[in-house]
């Protein structure tokens, strides 16, 4: 298995080759994008090692955690799509998996019956409370190389990047 550092070196070499052939390629931006995506995938894989014995994907657990953490323990699939960065077709698969496992229910909305609402079940809440402590060490190990100040700086930078993307997305939509 190749390390993330090896992957990044191979990515850098590829981006550098493209930049040598195409003028104006923003090498640093391309690398940052690729590294962020790659790290997200790697962290999700760490979480999936804990989830796999329970037959859940990381995206399933993310949706379940959103239900668990919402004030009324529910959300529409559309709301969850935005919160866990999934497309509607995959959200349907996720909702089906949570309902099939008895971790959530799917019901028509009370105000608008066309709106579907997912709600975490008591079994889903017990599952989260039992599994979350097992996931914490994987998460902490993944960030072990960063101190508290590093994490604060990374948080600040990622929020600035999100704000920049939001601002340019709004400009493009106009």
Instruction: Give tens-digit pLDDT for 62-82.
Output: 999 999 999 999 999 989 998
The answer to whether residue 114 scores a pLDDT higher than 90 is no
Please state, in angstroms and rounded to a whole number, the distance separating the CA atoms of residues 126 and 121: 9
**pLDDT tens, residue by residue, 6-30:** 999 999 999 999 999 999 999 999 9
Q: What is the pLDDT of residue 2?
A: 84
Stretch 133-151: mean pLDDT, rounded?
Answer: 94
Region 156-160: what's the mean pLDDT?
Answer: 96
Per-residue pLDDT, averaged over 112-136, amounts to 91
- What does the pLDDT read at residue 118? 95
Residue 170: the pLDDT is 66
Q: What is the reported pLDDT for 39? A: 94
The pLDDT assigned to 158 comes to: 95
Is residue 145 pLDDT above 90, yes or no? yes
DSSP string covering the chain, please?
Answer: ---HHHHHHHHHHHHHHHHHHSTT--HHHHHHHHHHHHHHHHHHHHHHHHHGGGT--HHHHHHHHHHHHSTTSEE-HHHHHHHHT--HHHHHHHHHHHHHTTSEEEEE-SS-TTSEEEEE-HHHHHHHHHHHHHHHHHHHHHTTTS-HHHHHHHHHHHHHHHHHHHHHHHHHH-
Split at pLDDT 50, 70, 90, the class of 125 is very high
């Amino acid at each position: 298995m190749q390390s993330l550092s090896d992957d990044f070196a191979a990515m850098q070499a590829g981006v550098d080759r493209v930049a040598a052939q195409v003028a104006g390629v923003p090498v640093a931006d391309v690398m940052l994008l690729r590294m962020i995506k790659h790290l997200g995938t790697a962290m999700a894989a760490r979480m999936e090692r804990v989830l796999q014995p329970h037959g859940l994907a990381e995206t399933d657990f993310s949706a379940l955690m959103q239900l668990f953490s919402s004030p009324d323990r529910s959300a529409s699939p559309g709301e969850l799509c935005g919160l866990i960065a999934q497309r509607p077709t995959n959200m349907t698969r996720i909702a089906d998996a949570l309902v099939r496992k008895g971790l959530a229910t799917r019901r028509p909305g009370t105000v608008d019956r066309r709106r579907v609402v997912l709600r975490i079940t008591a079994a889903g809440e017990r599952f989260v409370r039992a599994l979350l402590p097992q996931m914490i060490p994987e998460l902490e190990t993944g960030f072990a190389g960063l101190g508290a100040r590093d994490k604060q700086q990374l948080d600040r930078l990622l929020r600035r990047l999100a704000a920049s993307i939001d601002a340019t997305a709004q400009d493009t939509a106009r």
